[in-house]
Structure 1
Amino acid sequence: MAGVFYGVGVGPGDPELLTVKAIRAIQQADVVIAPKTEKKDESTALTIAQPFLKAGVPIVRLVFPMVFDGETLSEAWENNKNTILELLAAGKKVVFLTLGDPMFYSTYIYIFHLLENCGYPVETIPGVPAFCAMASKLGYPLAEGNDTLSVVPATLTPEQLDRVLARSDNVVLMKVYKNYQKLIETLKRHGLAENAVMVSRCGLEDEQVVRDVTEIGDQTINYLSTILTRRNKA
């Protein structure tokens, strides 16, 4: 029997936001892969999916280093690919858990590209992106009528970010944990700080909502933080 690889989006944090299709894939998995970084033992995606795991299912924790050295990345990712291929060759249904949506700024995308021509079926199951969950929870429409919405990483160059902010009605800013104070100054300059709201670890027990993004000070911003902003309140 041929193995099948599933990339499953588990959403931002609330297990009740998983789709029926995602739950079914998780429950039928022969092996579950939980990605994690070198610095942390836990996997947030695994925690979210925990209520739906069948008893005794093997869990493989693969380390994805958060580094930008090409050789280190290449070796780590190649090793992870080989681990997955061995499971598929054994005829396993392999579920790879990923936060939010698998095709949206996700670790899964790299694995997807590595396995595209591996000879085994690959199925991607979408999940709820954090910014969509945030908007619904806060009653914060992302776009109405002819509004333009830009979804961008805050790690863009200052010039790139200026161009995006200048042309957008509404903005979703991902990866805001880096250079936060400079980012806030940029939002102020474009008239987008007043209506901004930041949510960290959306849907998880320690979720934090910041309605005045200018008052954060020097505190460390959690990696799982996103800012929603717009020019005018609805």
Structure 2
Amino acid sequence: MSGVFYGIGVGPGDPELLTVKAIHAIKDVDVLIAPKTEKKEGSVALSIAQPYLKEDVKIVYQVFPMVRGFAENSTDAWANNKKEILALLEEGKNVAFLTLGDPMFYSTYIYVYRLLEHEPVEIRTIPGIPAFAAIGSQMGYPIVEGNDILAVIPATAAPEKVEKALDAADNAVLMKVYKNFGEVTDILARHDMSRQAVLVSRAGLEEERIIHDIEAHKEEKLNYLSTILTRKN
């Protein structure tokens, strides 16, 4: 009998922010797939889940190269990862893929799900708290209220797309603010959204950093896990 494949969101960083359902699944699975980058050792998602791992769980690290136009450009590495996961499931093992934040929100898990969704396997996806939700609660910063329109924007998007999204929004969340922090800050300033902004890097993790005056820090380098919450004045 084939095992069950779980996609588990482990939240932004604090292990206490995992859901009860996520913790139960982590404790029950036979194998944990821990995504890692090609350049770094270890897995942030795995470190967050560490307090809940059972002693004999098997940890499998997989590298998932980032590609644009996934359906057309997925690489041999992705195919090999899929093959490895299916082999474990065919052995009857329950397998979990750990991901930061929520599995269906700007997550590598989405691509893994697409690899497996048409295979004869059972998939259960367990939601997690996205970083911006945790930051809003931590900072006492309402993300939206009343009839506010919220834009959730990857800072890696083309500047013209960011501009259009901000034109339509009352409040905004900008994620992955790292490569172009200065440019993003300038765009927010043009929309009168820089002075109300708060940036949190590595929320809930070691080396967490909070920046209120983003214009004063816009030349600095940031960690990939950096998020801005802001609103129009």
What band does the TM-score fall into relative to the shorter chain? over 0.9
Match of 1:215 in 2: 216
Which residue matches 1:110?
A: 111
Query: Which has the larger displacement, 217-226 or 83-92?
Result: 217-226
Q: CA 1:206/1:9 → structure 2, altered by over 3 Å: closer, same or farther? A: same
Give 1:55's aligned residue: 55
Q: Distance in 2 between matches of 1:142 and 1:218?
A: 26
Q: CA deviation at 1:65?
A: 2.1
Partner Cα distance (1:166, 1:218) in 2: 25
Q: Residue 64 of structure 1: CA displacement? A: 1.3
1:162 aligns to what?
A: 163
Q: Does 1:76 align with 2:77?
A: yes
The letter for the 2-side match of 1:48 is I
- 204-213 or 43-52, which moves further after superposition? 204-213
**1:23 is matched by which residue type in structure 2?**
I
Query: Aligned partner of 2:30: which letter?
Result: D
Superposition map of 1:1-234 within 5 A: 1-66=1-66, 73-232=74-233
Q: Distance in 2 between matches of 1:218 and 1:191?
A: 19
Count of residues in Structure 1 that have an aligned counterpart in Structure 2: 232
Residue 225 to residue 88, structure 1, CA distance change in 2 (3 Å): same
Secondary structure in structure 2 of the residue aligned to 1:131: helix
**Within 1, Cα distance between the matches of 2:36 and 2:216?**
31
Quick check: 125-134 or 155-164, which moved more?
155-164
Aligned partners of 1:26, 1:177: CA distance in 2, in Å? 31
C-alpha distance in 1, partners of 2:28/2:211? 39
Secondary structure of the equivalent of 1:191?
A: coil
Q: CA deviation at 1:68?
A: 5.1
Q: 1:37 touches 1:66 (CA, 8 Å); kept in 2?
A: no
How far apart are 1:218 and its partner, in Å? 2.8
Deviation at 1:195, TM superposition (A): 0.3
Cα pair 2:185 2:218 within 8 Å, conserved: no
Change in Cα spacing, 1:173 to 1:109, as seen in structure 2 (3 Å) is same
* Structure 1 stretch displaced more, 171-180 or 27-36: 171-180
Structure 2 contact 181–218 (Cα < 8 Å) conserved: no
State the shift of 1:166 in Å. 1.3
Following TM superposition, by how much is the alpha carbon of 1:219 offset from its aligned partner in structure 2, in angstroms?
2.3
The answer to whether the 8 A contact 2:32-2:96 is kept is yes
Q: Tell me which amino acid in the other structure corresponds to 1:138.
A: M
Gaps of 5+ in 2: none
CA contact (8 A) 2:193 2:232 kept: yes
Unmatched runs of 5 consecutive residues or more in structure 1: none
Query: Aligned equivalents of 1:149 and 1:166: distance in 2?
Result: 11
SS at match of 2:144: coil
Amino acid paired to 2:118: N
- In 2, Cα distance between equivalents of 1:152 and 1:35: 23
RMSD across aligned C-alpha pairs, in angstroms? Answer: 1.5
